[in-house]
Structure 1
Amino acid sequence: MSEVQTQPSEARYRIAVDTGGTFTDVVLDSTTGDMAVGKALTTYDRVFTGFEASVRRAAESVGWSGDEVLRNADVIVYGTTHATNAVLTGKVAKTALLTTEGFADTLLLREGGRRDAFDSKAAYPPPYIPRQLTFEIRERVSAEGDVLVPLDEEQVREILGSFKEQGIEAVAVSFLWSIINDVHERRIAELIKEILPGVPYTLSNEANPTIREYRRSSAASIDASLKPLMADHLGKLRSDLQEFGFAGDLLVVTSEGAVLDVADVLDRPVLLLNSGPSMAPLVGAAAAPDRDTVVVCDMGGTTFDVSLVEEGVVRHTREAWLGEPFVGHLTGLSSVAVSSIGAGGGSIAWIDGGGLLRVGPQSARSTPGPAAYGRGGEEPTVTDACVALGYLDTEGFEGGFTLDREAAVRAIDTRIAGPLKMDTLQAAQAILDVSANHMATAIRQAALEQGVDPRGALIVAGGGAGAMVAAAIGVLLEADTVLIPATAGVLAAYGAHRAPIATEFLSPLHNDTRSFDAGSAARAVKELTSKANVFAERFNGVGEAPNVSYFVDARYPGQAWDLRVYLDAAPDAAGDAAATIERAFHEEHDRRNGTHDPDSRVEIITWGVRVEIPRPEHSKEDAEVSRTGEVHRTDSIVFGGESFSTQRYRGVTLAPRDKIVGPAVIDQPTTTIVVPPEWNATLDERSNIYLTRKEA
């Protein structure tokens, strides 16, 4: 992948970028079929600076010109955690919420859960929009869509008129039953345009057309609060790209594990929440398409993300909380199911009040970064422990600078080894062990919550730091095999490179399989089909033929929660739709919960359709590779407290089917793969690396 390639003047490019908390990763793809990867430190003041640096590093690694790549790119796919971080830190626009009279506390009460079910004195966490910025509007629509109380326009005009003085920057509107009749929400939109021209707003029936009042209100509130922020963020990036000479399409990664045009995302920035980790599972699904269950682990500089792939399908959820469950915020929109913990290469090691060693969740991030980066960091991190143990090549580190081993050792000695009366290597090993145990626990929890035994799953490890601890995690999970994809160091960026253009449309019309309303079902399916066709037509010629999947959100009578059930074809409302849906629901309920009730009717809460447009790959015929794995150095490296003479291989010199006996280290351009003494490494035909335990 990093061999020098020719760069014909007519070549065009696609760029995928993942902006993480520590590094910005890129994948470059040429119409010649060649590919390059690279990374550089993330720059928070101006995202384009780190983006440009990573593109240059990737391009130069294969003999291309970074300027030419940027100017001749047809498509740039951009992934960012900017929206998620803004919501979690509260650095969003000052937003007002207009809601139906009597329902001002919807965001405060949420859905009624709490972390400790027996703690009746637990205080309600603050709502996303403060109570003083929540305004009750006199209006009411019934569940059947009838207007019971007309909209009080005089009251609305008075409230909107006060917003300029209050410094309101965005407005969210969420009225009861607007999903059935949105006449009042649409009128509010007209009044906002008249009284507050230029102020962004979001209507709840557009943000998330769900029957669940809290999720709809929360989605609208978060979406509105992000519009000014993301318009500025994406606007600056687009301006920087255009100034540089980029004239192609800018696509943005969404939480659905897909990409959308930047204009679509600016209309619904709520789709950016939790989008950062949504790409890695796509790589896991592609790397092991024949495995029943794959656990994908993405360890970057700041977080460790876990996701599941079952029979080649990435698992999604509508229960993705921003922050802690029950006390954070929830939109109810479909997103890739990812569990994240603060355990990355930059996670800081520290000693708690009881004298116990802890690692994370605090991170050194890119500034100042781990002590070994030599950028002023003084706190010991997982990266510093890897430097001290000898895993990382201090001279050949591809982050754009040389690692400072003395600074790493000094930080470990001062903050950990000294206070705990350990030597440096003992302390470094302890930091790594604690971090690996955190990650193994996160995998167990994520898998077991979904009814999956991680011992029987294939572990796919990636991210800049994931391959260093992959074998250690494998031991803790009793796994005999761990897969390191060829693009492990830029896992999320490569996922963005492969991601389809996709979106979902919903129609919240209640129905029942035993008293089926064929008329309303037919109208719902017709409306969804029309929207799907319009969306697909917009991207006609951009990708391959669209894949259209219909689904319903359904439940047994009396159940509090519903299941999403995908159907083999568009429901035939005039035919066997009721029986088909009922049968599919029983099967899905049994698969997910281990039980079902074949005699029960099924309630349909929402009808939906997903449109997915695969983006074409730039293929290149595989040439016969003839090269010999190069050992560029032999180091003394510590494994489990014992020092071993260990060969370091240059990853770019390895060929498919090569086998490396541990202990060994494989230095790749964007990651380091550690092969402990008890493990071997084997490359497959696509240069993926399988770590296998010797006794297995």
Structure 2
Amino acid sequence: MSFQIAVDVGGTFTDLVVLERGGKVHTFKAPTTPGRIVDGILNGLELVADHFKIARAELLAACSKFACGTTAATNAILEGTYARTGLICTEGFRDTLLIREGGKRDTYTIAIDYPAPYIPRELTVGVRERINSEGGIELALDEQSVVVTIERLKHLGVESIAVALLWSIANPSHEKRIGELIETHWPDIPYSLSHRTSPTLREYRRSSATAIDASLKPLVRRVVNELESRLRGAGLGGVLTLVTSSGGQTAGDEVIECPINLCLSGPSAAPVSARNVIRAEGAATCNAIVVDMGGTSFDISIINDWEIPMHREGVIAGHVFGVPSVEVKTIGAGGGSIARVDAGGFIHVGPESARSVPGPACYDRGGILPTVTDANLARGFLDAANFAGGTMTLSPAKSEAAIRAEIAEPLELSVHEAASLIGLAVEQSMVAAIEDITIRRGVDPREYIMVAGGAAAGLHAVPIARELGIRKVLVPPVAGVLSAYGILVSDIKSSFSRSLPAATDAFDFDSVNATLASLEAEATAYLDRMKVPAGSREIRFSAEARYRGQVWQITLDFNHTHIADAATLAALEESFHQLHEKLYFVRGNDTIEFTEWTALAIGRLPAITVDHGVSEGGQGSDAAKGSRQVYMRELGGKAEIPVFDGSRLTPGTRIDGPAMIDQRLTTIVLYPSTTATLSANGSIWIDLI
């Protein structure tokens, strides 16, 4: 036996996808163990081993590749459990993290306080030095002040150090020297330098990214080392990789060196998974809105003409982490999101979550507050006896009691009406979040399909799509573990950036080409370290560019290893005009400024042929498994609707709504005026009539 295993550790469940030799895929869920994520992974591996009727050690010994996505970094930022970190900055700039960019992210919401700095001011120390924007040294580094600062941070009990000097991206010599002094005077302390972590314009964003990176180093080193040592100790003999914010895999050593790349590790793989499924469906085009609804969050991403947009605007808990990452919008609207009624009689759902412990009330683990999962159970949308692949039994009585006490009685509604209201409220939050990254950016969601992933997305996909005018919903065969499947099929990836100003009216070809050559060398060295064969390598280049006078840049991809002459530059300029017009419907005539250059190293992994087993089972008519009483506003209240066993459907089987399709790790609710059809690849296509 031979396996590949991919794991996505979420806030509520740990999802596992196992690929057998021959292409057969198996999916599993195990409760996440907060604070002990490796325990949750090992518990999940026990489920896998039991399924194959072998010992866990035998399973791991037969595993050629183990890929993991973890929310450890994201959760540490959200919960404030990162290391006590000191910041060394240029003298006179101690308030960079406090002032930020001049205001709150939501200026008009009075109830939101101005956020505290990521590193408090008392742990921020300035040193005497000054480099100008051209890289010239205005004031030489006072090395004695650096030594004094290091001793002061020792006294303050910091566990890591961030170094972010003004204009280090133009000349990093002072930051490099501070790194050498730290290694000399405090060799055991981890530290991060801003010109390496985030070599980009904007003092706050670079400082924030460096502070986050430094604060995560002790935690991520501990988590990665524990993960590797315990998996090796349990019998793993194959390759271990982790998934980064770019949606690609990399080695544990690379993550330890730059742990900020672990932010949004799991969600970044969802659009990779969706694109893989759409390609398997034989689609000629791929424009999709990908939603992944798990137990804690609702993640949204976009695929435009097969491309997954990347950005540097990543924000967690109000702090910019700013490294190149898959654009994912996350809101607290998962199955475990808690519903409540405020003093004015308005219902709210999330962002607070019951997580896996104590969990929703229906888990019967001590949770007493109603959640979205409780509402779906009370509405009859879930099979209480076969939840999470049959690993859990839910308590309808506990759900109804929680909803009655917290929602129904305060609003003078029946339990079923209150449960339906919880569902409506969370769906409106989801619609608003999707509109944020589509309609408000000039993207018409009616021109896209929706890919519904996560254990809970199938319950809410139809009403969300209908509200947005989307006519087709795709539920993949791996919907319940969408991100974990994306981890399985993702490539090796890492990006390398360098700040270098250049403008089309005075372009320094030599400096730019030297920078591109240096980035290409870094990318090649990375692919060498990852042992990627020569025929499986790709290096993509991009630049951050803008019209002169603009504040913000856009990312411009290009396929040149160097910019040889004026004709090549003119082609690059025309590409920028076209991209700007596509994004903003405006084509300018101004000089174009380039501020940063990036090389993305990609190691293509061998294509995986997947067998989802759709040819197994009986005829389509054998899939009917009875009926279930549900509460659905569209049917006027309580109604009996047919239920189908998704594992027994055959390709071409058509089901008209209202109906439900039960799958091992998810349930799909078909509302009136919808039709579902199973494809030959095992995906369910829902048409909204």
* TM > 0.5: yes
1:652 aligned residue? 647
Distance 1:579 1:493 in 2: 43
Indicate conservation of the 8 Å contact 1:550/1:571, yes or no.
no
Aligned-partner Cα distance in 2 for 1:74–1:345: 33
Q: 1:544 to 1:19 in 2, by over 3 A?
A: farther
The CA distance in 1 between the partners of 2:465 and 2:50, in whole Å, is: 35
Residue 389 of structure 1, CA deviation = 1.5
SS at match of 2:482: helix
SS at match of 2:562: coil
> 1:63: Cα distance to partner?
5.6
How far is the alpha carbon of 1:171 from its aligned partner?
Answer: 0.7
- Cα distance, 1:541 vs. partner? 4.3
Matching residue within 307, 310, 315 for 1:321: 315
Residue aligned with 2:644, SS: strand
Counterpart of 1:316 in structure 2: which amino acid?
Answer: M
Whichever residue aligns with residue 515 of structure 2, its letter is A
Aligned twin of 1:242: 232
CA deviation digits over 1:284-321, x for unaligned, max 9?
Answer: 22233534531111111111111111001111111122
Task: Name the aligned partner's letter for residue 39 of structure 2.
Answer: T
Matches within 5 A, 1:469-488: 469-488=460-479
Show the 5 A alignment for 1:7-406. Answer: 11-61=1-51, 66-115=56-105, 125-289=115-279, 290-291=284-285, 293-323=287-317, 328-397=318-387, 398=389, 400-406=391-397
SS in 2 for 1:314: coil
Please point out which of 624, 630, 634 is paired with 1:631: 624
Distance in 1 between the 2:106 and 2:61 partners?
55
Amino acid in the other structure paired with 1:655 = T
* Alpha-carbon displacement from aligned partner over 1:24-69 (angstroms, at most 9, x marks no partner): 1011112332211100111014212221222333454466654432
What is the distance in 1 between the residues matched to 2:684 and 2:52?
22
2:667 to 650, 672, 675: 672
Residues in 2 aligned to 1:99 and 1:439: alpha-carbon distance in whole angstroms: 40
For 1:504-543, what aligned pairs fall within 5 Å after superposition?
A: 504-541=495-532
Equivalences, count: 679
Shift of 1:111: 2.2
CA contact (8 A) 2:104 2:115 kept: no
C-alpha distance in 2 between matches for 1:660 and 1:158: 73
Q: Find the aligned partners of 2:222 and 2:558 in 1 and give their Cα distance.
A: 40
The CA distance in 1 between the partners of 2:132 and 2:412, in whole Å, is 69
Say which SS state the counterpart of residue 536 (structure 2) adopts: coil
The answer on 1:423 being equivalent to 2:423 is no
Question: Relative to structure 2, which stretch is displaced further, 118-127 or 504-513?
Answer: 118-127
With 105-114 and 18-27 compared, the bigger mean Cα shift is at 105-114
Deviation (angstroms), 1:179 = 1.9
| Alpha carbons of structure 1 residues 419 and 590: separation in structure 2 relative to 1, 3 Å | same
Shift of 1:123: 7.7
SS of the residue corresponding to residue 429 of structure 2 reads helix
Letter in 1 for 2:177: R
How do residues 489-504 of structure 1 correspond to structure 2 at under 5 angstroms? 489-504=480-495
- Residue 337 of structure 1 and its aligned partner are, at CA, apart by 1.1
Distance 1:622 1:284, change over 3 A: closer
Note if contact 2:614-2:681 (Cα within 8 Å) is conserved in structure 1. Answer: no
Question: Bigger CA drift: 575-584 or 303-312?
Answer: 575-584
TM norm structure 1: 0.93
Distance verdict in 2 for CA 1:670–1:65, change over 3 Å: farther
Give the whole-Å Cα distance in 2 for the aligned partners of 1:64 and 1:455.
Answer: 48
Equivalent position SS for 1:510? strand
Aligned equivalent of 1:4: none
- Is the CA contact (8 Å cut-off) linking 1:27 and 1:58 kept in structure 2? no
Match of 1:408 in 2: 399
* CA contact 1:544–1:616 (8 Å) conserved in 2: no
1:65-108 per-position Cα deviation (integer Å, ceiling 9, x unaligned): 54432232122111111111211222111111111112222212
* 1:155, distance to aligned residue in structure 2 (A): 1.5
Instruction: After superposition, give the CA deviation of every residue in 1:133-187 in whole Å (9 maximum; x if it has no partner).
Output: 1111111223332322221111211221233222111111112222222221111
Distance in 1 (alpha carbons) for counterparts of 2:355 and 2:180: 44
Call closer, same or farther: CA 1:419–1:146 in 2, change over 3 Å.
closer
Amino acid at match of 1:537: D
Please report how far the alpha carbon of residue 542 of structure 1 lies from its aligned counterpart in structure 2 after TM superposition: 6.4
* Aligned: 1:455 with 2:446: yes
- The answer for the alignment partner of 2:681 in structure 1 is 686
Which residue number in structure 2 is paired with residue 584 of structure 1? 575
Deviation by residue 1:621-661 (Cα, 9 ceiling, x = unmatched): 79892632422332222222433332322222222222122
Identity %, equivalent residues: 39
